[in-house]
């Protein structure tokens, strides 16, 4: 138990409790919104508490705020309710709190089935928080699956376009991955030598290797890998993402790009690297190959897009490729592994979350007001919506890796780390920054610059509620860009034990 009571349980379940309260007590749409905002605000404060109270000192425990209750046990096998954060997950908890409140604010104008909308958003937040804080494999899987329900509802009810198709596609792709993960978890269960779902113990060096696992360790590695690679997503299992994003409502897009994809990257780091270091090192080249392909392929396809949301979605494929590439840096063959690549991958999870969240928020505002996301139909919007255009430009520049903004730090760390292990593939991936400049700036030119169009003459700029999340994310992006150590030092603490194992130490 942590010194401040069950802080993590509160952080995880507060949104769900809030959803129940709204279900039971909120009468008007207005009170639904107010309640949801209040809950999200408190949860943001809690998540920031988790982040700031995380003990960074030298002798501190690796996992903190740990809460553990026995759940059930079969023979020697124990499953437990086990929550805790380390340096890897603490920033992601904060990210979830941050984007959670942005999603609530971005839904302010929703006027169809308002109560349900907010309930699903809050349930979604609980499930994602749960994924980042669970340290029991079974609990992790439960939260992982729970997240599908609200997201499916949000896309298929409040979405646009081919929303049922996209929601179903999202569901099936993720479930496909989950099936593999479930098999892997069952295999762990059926191996008495392992004897635990406790991820803290599983992360100790050698636990997984300690005995005759039912199926080869490598296939366990790959089953987890498939689940996370689909979620990330990586080429060639990325195609659910553009559809889901394009048809999802703004809030769902923000959560999807902002935190749901990060579950994939988090899983890769926590489980594939943390529990299968040997396999991860052995197959790092596969990660690098997938990463480089995703970066370049994603960027090239992005350039062709004409729908703002699809464009951002494909750029996410490209940027998530950098996460793969950064993790692939562990395949270093000579010299010692530094933390640059893994830290860059973890940073990329956070920075991409804020940047893409901001891009989707701004796109949502444009779509609400101009009623189009088709880039050739836009143009000259900057003159009418200077706040939105400025936010979009800042996010876009961060996305193309401009120094002083957060994207630069993670990108450079990934490249620095990966280049040491795989110089030539990394040099190839670096081309992605030119392509990113191409699609971001060309999109800015077509959608925001140029002669103002008459039919946009009465567009209004963001109001206070709409501008608040934009400002929040811009501050985060600039803050991390200027002082990245705020995050890198925490990630470093979380990654250090893994790197020690990978470097052959105990």
Partner 1 sequence: MVSEASVWAIFLLPLAAFVIIALVIRPFFNRYAGLSGLLLIAALAVSLFLSILALGAVAMGQEPELQAYRWLDLGDAVIELSPLLDPLTAVMAVVVTSVSLMVQIYSLGYMKGDPGYARYFAYMALFTSAMLGLVLVANILVLYAFWELVGVSSYLLIGFWHDRPAAAAAAKKAFIITRIGDLGLLIAILYLFFQADEFAAAGMNAFHIPDIWQAVQPLGAGGAILAGTGLTWLTLGIFAAAVGKSGQFPLHSWLPDAMEGPTPVSALIHAATMVAAGVFLVGRFYPVFLAAESTLTVVALIGAFTALMAATMGLVMNDIKRVMAYSTVSQLGYMMAALGLGAFPAAIFHLVTHASFKALLFLGAGSVNHATGTFNMQYMGGLRQHMPLTYLLVVIGGLSLVGIFPLSGFWSKDEILVSAWTGGGVVEPWVSQATLIMLGIGVLLTAFYTLRMIYMTFHGEFRGGVEQEQLDTGADSHGDDVQDTGDHGGLHLAESPVVMVAPMVILGIGAVVLGFISNPQWIDLFGVPKHWITELFEHGVAPVLSSDAPHLVLPKFSLQIAAISTVIALIGIGLATAMYARGSRQYSSAVRRDRDPLEAGGPLHRLLAEKYYIDALYEDAVVRLAFYRAFAGAIDWLDKNVVDRIGDVIATIFRNVGRIFLAPLQTGEVQAYGLAVALGTLIILLGFLLV
Give the contact letters, 187-226, x = binds to partner 1 (CB under 8 A), - = no.
----------------------------------------
The answer to whether 42 contacts partner 1 (rule: CB under 8 A) is: no
Segment interacting with partner 1 (CB under 8 A) among 259-267, 274-282, 318-326, 432-440: 432-440
Smallest distance, Å, CB 141 to partner 1?
A: 23
Name which of 66 and 382 has its Cβ closer to partner 1. 382
- Our CB check for partner 1 shows the closer of 23 and 441 to be 441
Binding of residue 488 to partner 1 (CB under 8 A):
yes
Write the CB contacts of 382 (distance below 8 Å, at least 6 apart in sequence): 389, 448, 449
Q: How far is the CB of 449 from partner 1 (least distance, A)?
A: 4
If binding means CB under 8 A, how many residues of this protein chain bind partner 1? 55
Letters for 437-476 (x = contact with partner 1 by CB under 8 A, - = none) are: xx--xx-xx--xxxxx------------------------
Smallest distance from partner 1 to CB 457, Å = 13
Residue 148 and residue 174 in contact, taking contact as beta carbons nearer than 8 Å: yes
Interface region with partner 1, contact rule CB under 8 A, candidates 37-45, 88-96, 332-340, 351-359 = 332-340
Contact between 412 and partner 1 (CB under 8 A)?
yes
Q: Which is nearer to partner 1, 465 or 482 (CB)?
A: 482
Stretch that binds partner 1, among 55-63, 106-114, 231-239, 354-362 (CB under 8 A): 231-239
The answer to whether 350 contacts partner 1 (rule: CB under 8 A) is no
Residues 368-397 within binding reach of partner 1 (CB under 8 A): 380, 382-383, 397
Cβ nearer to partner 1, comparing 137 with 317: 317
- Burial of 373: CB neighbours in 10 Å, binned 0-12, 13-18, 19+: buried
426 binds partner 1 (CB under 8 A): yes
Nearer to partner 1, 115 or 420 (CB): 420
**Does the protein bind partner 1 through residue 301 (CB under 8 A)?**
yes
CB 191 within 8 A of CB 213: yes
Give least dist CB 474 to partner 1, A. Answer: 11
As measured in angstroms, the least distance from the Cβ of 445 to partner 1 is 5
Query: What is the Cα gyration radius of the chain?
Result: 22
Judge contact between 63 and 469, C-beta under 8 A: no
Between 186 and 475, name the residue whose CB sits nearer to partner 1.
475
Among 3, 59, 212, 335, the residue binding partner 1 under the rule CB under 8 A is: 335
Of 16-24, 85-93, 140-148, 435-443: span binding partner 1 (CB under 8 A): 435-443
- Rounded distance, CA 69 to CA 298, Å? 44
Quote the least distance from Cβ 164 to partner 1, whole Å. Answer: 14
- Contact between 344 and 416 under an 8 Å Cβ cutoff? The reply is yes
Please report, for residues 293, 304, 393, 435, 436, the alpha-carbon distance to residue 431 in angstroms, rounded to integers and kept in the order given: 12, 17, 21, 7, 9
188's tokens:
């762990």
Peptide bond between residue 236 and the one before it cis (omega within 30 degrees of 0): yes
Nearest alpha-carbon partner for 142 in 161, 126, 163, 159: 126
Angstrom distance (rounded) from CA 138 to CA 145:
11
Q: How far is CA 293 from CA 120, 148, 241, in A?
A: 35, 27, 16
Per CB under 8 A, does 340 bind partner 1?
yes
Interacting stretch for partner 1, rule CB under 8 A, among 1-9, 66-74, 133-141, 484-492? Answer: 484-492
Q: ω before 3 within 30° of 0 (cis)?
A: no
Q: Which 3 state secondary structure label does DSSP give 111? A: coil
Which pair of structure tokens corresponds to residue 293? 């392909």
Residues in Cβ contact with 64 at an 8 Å cutoff, skipping those fewer than 6 apart? 2, 54, 55, 84, 85, 86, 90
∠ Cα 224 228 232 (to 5°)? 165
Q: How far is CA 89 from CA 141, 307, 493, in A?
A: 16, 33, 11
Closest distance to partner 1 from the beta carbon of 330 (Å)? 14
Q: Do 105 and 142 form a contact (C-beta atoms < 8 A)?
A: no
Which residues here bind partner 1, judged by CB under 8 A?
Answer: 169, 172-173, 235-236, 238-240, 297, 300-301, 303-304, 335-336, 338-340, 380, 382-383, 397, 401-404, 408-409, 412-413, 415-416, 419-420, 423, 426-427, 430-431, 433-434, 437-438, 441-442, 444-445, 448-452, 484-485, 488
């Amino acid at each position: 138990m942590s010194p401040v009571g069950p802080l993590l349980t509160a952080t995880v379940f507060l949104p769900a409790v809030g959803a129940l309260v709204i279900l039971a007590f909120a009468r008007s749409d207005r009170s639904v919104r107010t309640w949801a905002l209040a809950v999200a605000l408190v949860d943001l404060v809690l998540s920031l508490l988790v982040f700031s109270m995380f003990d960074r000192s030298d002798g501190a425990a690796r996992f903190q705020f740990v809460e553990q209750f026995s759940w059930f046990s079969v023979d020697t096998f124990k499953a437990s309710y086990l929550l805790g954060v380390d340096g890897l997950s603490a920033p992601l908890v904060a990210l979830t709190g941050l984007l959670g409140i942005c999603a609530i604010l971005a839904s302010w104008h929703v006027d169809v089935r308002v109560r349900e909308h907010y309930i699903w958003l809050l349930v979604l937040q609980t499930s994602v928080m749960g994924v980042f804080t669970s340290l029991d494999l079974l609990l992790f899987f439960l939260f992982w699956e729970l997240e599908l329900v609200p997201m499916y509802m949000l896309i298929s009810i409040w979405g646009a376009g081919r929303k049922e198709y996209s929601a179903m596609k999202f569901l099936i792709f993720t479930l496909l991955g989950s099936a593999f993960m479930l098999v892997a978890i069952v295999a762990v269960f059926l191996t008495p030598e392992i004897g635990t779902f406790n991820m803290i113990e599983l992360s100790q060096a050698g636990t997984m290797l300690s005995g005759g696992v039912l199926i080869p360790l490598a296939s366990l590695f790959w089953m987890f890998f498939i689940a996370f690679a689909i979620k990330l997503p990586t080429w060639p299992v990325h195609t659910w993402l553009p559809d889901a994003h394009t048809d999802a409502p703004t809030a769902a897009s923000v959560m999807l790009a902002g935190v749901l994809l990060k579950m994939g990257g988090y899983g890769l780091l926590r489980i594939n690297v943390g529990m299968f270091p040997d396999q991860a090192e052995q197959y790092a080249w596969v990660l690098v190959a997938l990463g480089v392909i995703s970066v370049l392929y994603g960027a090239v396809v992005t350039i062709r897009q004409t729908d703002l949301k699809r464009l951002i979605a494909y750029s996410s494929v490209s940027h998530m490729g950098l996460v793969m590439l950064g993790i692939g840096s562990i395949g270093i063959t000579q010299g010692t592994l530094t933390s640059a690549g893994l830290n860059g991958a973890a940073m990329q999870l956070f920075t991409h979350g804020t940047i893409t969240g901001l891009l989707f928020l701004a796109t949502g505002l444009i779509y609400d007001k101009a009623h189009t996301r088709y880039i050739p139909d836009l143009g000259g919007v900057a003159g009418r919506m200077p706040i939105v255009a400025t936010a979009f430009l800042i996010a876009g520049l961060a996305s193309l890796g401009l120094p002083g903004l957060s994207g630069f730090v993670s990108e450079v760390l990934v490249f620095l780390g990966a280049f040491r292990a795989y110089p030539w593939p990394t040099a190839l991936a670096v081309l992605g920054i030119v392509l990113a400049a191409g699609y971001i700036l060309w999109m800015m030119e077509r959608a925001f610059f140029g002669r103002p169009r008459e039919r946009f003459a009465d567009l209004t700029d963001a109001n206070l509620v709409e501008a608040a999340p934009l400002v929040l994310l811009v501050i985060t992006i600039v803050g991390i860009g200027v002082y990245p150590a705020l995050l890198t030092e925490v990630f470093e603490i979380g990654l250090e034990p893994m790197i020690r194992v990978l470097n052959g130490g105990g």
